[in-house]
C-alpha cells in the first residue's frame, strides 16, 4: 500500500444522501490526517461545507466517464457510495473501469445487508436490491481490491426521513414495519467503519462486513426510546404498506425509491431485518449508538418549532 497520507482519498457521494455517510467519512479522514478529494454532483452549500472541512471538491457524476477520470486520477483509496438510483449499476461499471485504469489500491464499497441473503437464483422484489447484488458481482469480476460493507437498514431512512413529520405533529411513529424486530444502524457508525478501513485497508481487502445497530427490537421498543429521548410519549402505529407508498408517490418520491422502500417495509414485517453482528465494534473498537442517543442528537427534527 502507498504510504498513508501521500495520495488523496476519494470519497464519492460526498455531499451526503441517507444520513450523510459521505460528509462524515470526509470529516473523519481529514481528522486522521489524510488528504481528501470529495466528489459531488452540484457545487452548492454542501460542497462549500466540504471545502471548509479541508477537502478538495470535484463536481461530477458517476455515470460520466470524464468526470470520473478527474475524480479518481491520483487517488489510491476510494469510498464508493451512491444514493438509491436506477443508474446504480451503470455508475458501478463506469467506476470499476476507471478505477482499474488508474491502478487504485483499495476500494470500500457500500452495499446492503439483504444482499447476504441473495444469489443467482434468489432476489427480492426491490429494484435496488438487485442492482446492489449485480454491482457486487461486477466489482468481484473486476479483480479490483474491494472491501464490502453491508449495513442493515439505516436509522435515518425510516426513523428520520419517513417518520419525523408524524413524530412532530402527532407524537406517533407512523411506519409500515409490522411487529417484527429490526436492528437499524446510524449512518454515523457506518461512516466510522468506512473511515477506519480506508485509514488502513490492507488487512481488509476481499472481506465483507455486515453492520447492524447495537440491538434488534420491535418498533414499539424504539418508540419508548423516542419517548425517553424527547421527554414526551411517542407511540408506534403500524400503517399498511400500500397507502403509505401512495402517500410517498403524492409527495413526489421517485418510483424506483418507492419500490425499494415498499419491499424493505414488507421484509421488515416478515422479520428479515432481525439481524445482529458485532462487526462495528470489531472494526472500530466502539459499539454503534443506540436509538435513544441517536434521537437525542436529532431532537430538533422531532420537535415543533
Interval 210-258: pLDDT, tens: 999 999 999 999 999 999 999 999 999 999 999 999 999 999 999 999 9
Backbone angles phi, psi at 2, to 5 degrees: -65, 145
In a domain, 235, yes or no: no
- Residue 87 belongs to domain with CATH number: 3.40.50.720
Q: Is residue 169 part of a domain?
A: no
Decide: 212 and 185 in contact? Cβ < 8 Å: yes
- Does the pLDDT of residue 18 top 60, yes or no? no
Regarding pTM above 0.85, the answer is yes
Strand (E) or helix (H) holding 165:
helix 164-170
Is the pLDDT at 259 greater than 70? The verdict is yes
Q: Number of structural domains, the chain?
A: 1
Within a domain: 265 = no
The whole-angstrom separation of Cα 98 and Cα 71 is 10
Query: Which residues are registered as beta bridge partners of 211?
Result: 151
How sure is the predictor about 101, in pLDDT bands with cuts at 50, 70 and 90? very high
192 belongs to a structural domain? yes
| Domain assignment of residue 303, yes or no | no
297 assigned to some structural domain: no
pLDDT of 19 over the 60 cut: no
Report strand pairing: 208-211 vs 172-175. unpaired
Cell of 112: 446492503
Domain presence at residue 219: no
Q: Is pLDDT at 281 greater than 90 in this prediction?
A: yes
Query: Domain residues for 50?
Result: 9-153+186-211+276-288
Amino acid at each position: 500500500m502507498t504510504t498513508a497520507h501521500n495520495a488523496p482519498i476519494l470519497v464519492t457521494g460526498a455531499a451526503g444522501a441517507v444520513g450523510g455517510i459521505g460528509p462524515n467519512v470526509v470529516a473523519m479522514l481529514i481528522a486522521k490526517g489524510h488528504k481528501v478529494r470529495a466528489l459531488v454532483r452540484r457545487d452548492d452549500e454542501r460542497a462549500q461545507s466540504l471545502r471548509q472541512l479541508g477537502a478538495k471538491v470535484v463536481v461530477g457524476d458517476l455515470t460520466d466517464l470524464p468526470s470520473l477520470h478527474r475524480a479518481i486520477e491520483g487517488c489510491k483509496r476510494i469510498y464508493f457510495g451512491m444514493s438509491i438510483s436506477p443508474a446504480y449499476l451503470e455508475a458501478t461499471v463506469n467506476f470499476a473501469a476507471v478505477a482499474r485504469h488508474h491502478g487504485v489500491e483499495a476500494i470500500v464499497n457500500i452495499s446492503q445487508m439483504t444482499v447476504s441473503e441473495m444469489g443467482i437464483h434468489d432476489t427480492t422484489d426491490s429494484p435496488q436490491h438487485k442492482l446492489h447484488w449485480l454491482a457486487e458481482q461486477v466489482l468481484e469480476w473486476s479483480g479490483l481490491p474491494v472491501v464490502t460493507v453491508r449495513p442493515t437498514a439505516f436509522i435515518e431512512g425510516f426513523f428520520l426521513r419517513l417518520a419525523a413529520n408524524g413524530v412532530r405533529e402527532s407524537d406517533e411513529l407512523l411506519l409500515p414495519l409490522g411487529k417484527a424486530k429490526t436492528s437499524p444502524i446510524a449512518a454515523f457508525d457506518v461512516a466510522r467503519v468506512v473511515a477506519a478501513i480506508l485509514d488502513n485497508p490492507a488487512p481488509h481487502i476481499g472481506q465483507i462486513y455486515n453492520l447492524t445497530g447495537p440491538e434488534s427490537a420491535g418498533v414499539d421498543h424504539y418508540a419508548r426510546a423516542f419517548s425517553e429521548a424527547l421527554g414526551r410519549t411517542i407511540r408506534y402505529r403500524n400503517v399498511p404498506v400500500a397507502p403509505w407508498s401512495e402517500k410517498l408517490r403524492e409527495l413526489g418520491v421517485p418510483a424506483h425509491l418507492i419500490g425499494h422502500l415498499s419491499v424493505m417495509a414488507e421484509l421488515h414485517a416478515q422479520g428479515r431485518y432481525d439481524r445482529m453482528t458485532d462487526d462495528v465494534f470489531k472494526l472500530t473498537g466502539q459499539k454503534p449508538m443506540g436509538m435513544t442517543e441517536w434521537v437525542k442528537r436529532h431532537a430538533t427534527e422531532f420537535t415543533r418549532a
